[in-house]
Chains A and B, each alone.
Chain A
């Protein structure tokens, strides 16, 4: 992918982006949740 052959590297990038998306969705989903 983009000339990066080692799967450890591109899965690292995919995980980093994926977890960021999860964080954004979580924050949006729980935006008004009042319970701690």
Chain B
């Protein structure tokens, strides 16, 4: 029954005529489901088949409104159906439904066509937004703690909820605009909504590439996007990957155009900002070593 429930619907949002075993769906349903005085076996199965797809597609639309506006509603729905056939949910929570979308879309470029780079960028941002929203937060290292900690060999741990991303398109602006429009159109008529959506899709199609470095983070439990310089991105990425402060600096300024004389003040300012935003975790206190038993 699960295979039949998870089988895609027709364009008319009905169960397919062909069953998962290749035979007729009508015969397939009647083998295990009883009809009643109002519904055939197939019609009863179809209730579950439709519920499955309506629930999952609505969850995808809720999680990826940016991708939806890039691809357009119809293409987005068709893409989601293909994705969910290849990558059905393997988690007890719908929160994880889109966890494989980026890698899947990378392998199936036909869905985004010429907009593939933009589509991948927006998917990465929307997934990072989900991860940042409910990711773990550890006690934060504050500015004073940071002032006391120094040295080339220092290793700093980033908060698990902090997401570092680089994009070819300014997708942060795009996603914020999509959300703003969705909020505004809650109060508008359907016809007006449709017109606005068409305009939005056209605007998206004209989005020009512009490399950006972004941190998706939280302040007071709300998710924010913060653009950072490429050098900041390099330092934070190196620290996240467990490299020492010295190595992180090296990575940041190898190809940097920032004059050497300006670097110390700039780095100090960055670290102060990051610590103020609570992006670093306090180091775990090591348990005292027990005395060896003679």
**Chain A partners chain B:** no
**A interface vs B, CB < 8 Å?**
none
**B interface vs A, CB < 8 Å?**
none
